[in-house]
């Protein structure tokens, strides 16, 4: 693994520390009037999702984790696990829901997310900014019920519940933001 100094940190970089794998959420170089410079960071544990604040000395050496991004196709659910196929080797990989985080709410059969791999371990998923999902269940719209900005809950084909405008009907496709989980438009 390559060793870098804390002066080279960037947001999104993954570090292999003694406590585990951490992704840099935020960092700040501080040069006080007295004493030595230091780097104040906010790190997110990629396995548990917990965030921690940590301070490093300026120039301190840390191990950078090499994260491999692989394009995989989501095939089906096998019990609790999600089964993916590597698009290059055609090998199938069963992934626990905990490794996917909230990305599981946006996966439909045939979708092809980028899987973030550390060795053979899946540590995250990169989704497109928005996905199109079908409405599985929602209350039907009523004629004359067209209040501007009014919303109703709708259950999507993945089980995710989002607030949609009153005119959206069951069976329609809607575009949903994968970062916020909000309705964007009709599909």
162 and 182 both lie in a single domain: yes
Residues 75 and 57 placed together within one structural domain of the fold:
no
Is the Cβ–Cβ distance between 117 and 123 less than 8 Å?
Answer: yes
- All residues at 6 or more sequence positions from 134 whose CB lies less than 8 Å from its CB, including other chains: 156, 157, 171, 172, 173, 174
Indicate if 98 and 49 belong to the same structural domain: no
Rounded mean pLDDT of 9-28? 89
Same structural domain, 59 and 8 = yes
Instruction: Please check whether residues 166 and 122 belong to one and the same domain.
Output: no
Tally of domains in the chain = 3
Residue 74 has pLDDT above 70, yes or no: yes
What pLDDT score does 170 carry? 87
Out of 39, 63, 87, pick the residue that ends a domain.
63
Q: What is the pLDDT of residues 156-178, one digit of tens each?
A: 988 889 988 888 888 889 999 88
- The single-letter DSSP state of residue 97 is H
User: What residue has token string 């259950």?
Assistant: 155
Q: Taking all residues of the chain, what is their mean pLDDT, rounded to a whole number?
A: 86
- For position 109, what pLDDT does the model report? 85
> Confidence band (pLDDT; 50, 70, 90) for 61?
very high
CB 126 within 8 A of CB 77: no
At 13, the pLDDT band (50, 70, 90 cuts) reads confident
Measured CA to CA, the distance from residue 116 to residue 124 in angstroms comes to: 5
Place of tokens 């829901």: 97
CATH number at residue 105: 2.40.50.140
8 and 57 housed in the same domain = yes
- What range defines the domain where residue 180 resides? 130-186
- Which of 15, 33, 63 is the last residue before a domain boundary? 63
* Confidence check: pLDDT of 111 > 90: no
The tokens describing 17, both together, are 């520390």
- pLDDT band for 53, please (50, 70, 90 cuts): very high
Note whether 10 and 58 are same-domain residues. yes
Whether residue 52 sits in one domain with residue 11: yes
Q: What is the CA radius of gyration of the chain?
A: 21
Q: What percent of the chain has pLDDT over 90?
A: 13
The yes-or-no verdict on residue 147 having pLDDT over 70 is no
Residue 149 and residue 110 share a domain: no
Please answer whether residues 92 and 78 qualify as being in contact, where contact means their C-beta atoms are separated by less than 8 angstroms. Answer: no
Out of 32, 63, 94, pick the residue that ends a domain.
Answer: 63
Q: What is the CATH number of the domain that holds 16?
A: 2.30.30.30
- Residue 130 CA: distances (Å) to CA of 44, 53, 104, 106: 24, 31, 14, 9
User: Cβ–Cβ contacts within 10 Å for residue 119, how many?
Assistant: 9
Element (H, E) at 98: helix 97-100
Same domain, 97 and 55: no
Are 122 and 134 members of one domain? no
Rounded to whole angstroms, the Cα distance separating 148 from 140 reads 17
What is the enclosing helix (H) or strand (E) of 28?
A: strand 20-30
| pLDDT bucket at 148, cuts 50 / 70 / 90 | low
153 and 177 belong to one structural domain: yes
């Amino acid at each position: 693994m390559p060793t870098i100094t804390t002066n080279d940190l960037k947001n999104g970089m993954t570090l292999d520390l003694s406590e585990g794998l951490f992704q840099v959420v935020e960092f700040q170089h501080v040069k006080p009037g007295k004493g030595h410079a230091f780097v104040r960071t906010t790190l997110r544990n990629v396995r548990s999702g917990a965030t921690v604040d940590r301070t490093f000395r300026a120039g301190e050496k840390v191990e950078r984790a090499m994260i491999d991004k692989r394009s995989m196709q989501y095939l089906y659910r096998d019990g609790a696990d999600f089964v993916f196929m590597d698009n290059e080797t055609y090998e199938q990989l069963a992934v626990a829901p905990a490794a996917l985080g909230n990305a599981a709410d946006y996966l439909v059969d045939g979708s092809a997310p980028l899987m973030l791999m550390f060795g053979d371990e899946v540590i995250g998923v990169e989704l497109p900014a928005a996905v199109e999902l079908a409405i599985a269940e929602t209350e039907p719209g009523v004629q004359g019920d067209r209040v501007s900005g009014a919303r109703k809950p709708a259950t999507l084909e993945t089980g995710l519940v989002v607030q949609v405008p009153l005119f959206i009907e069951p069976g329609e496709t809607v575009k949903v933001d994968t970062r916020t989980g909000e309705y964007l438009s009709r599909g």
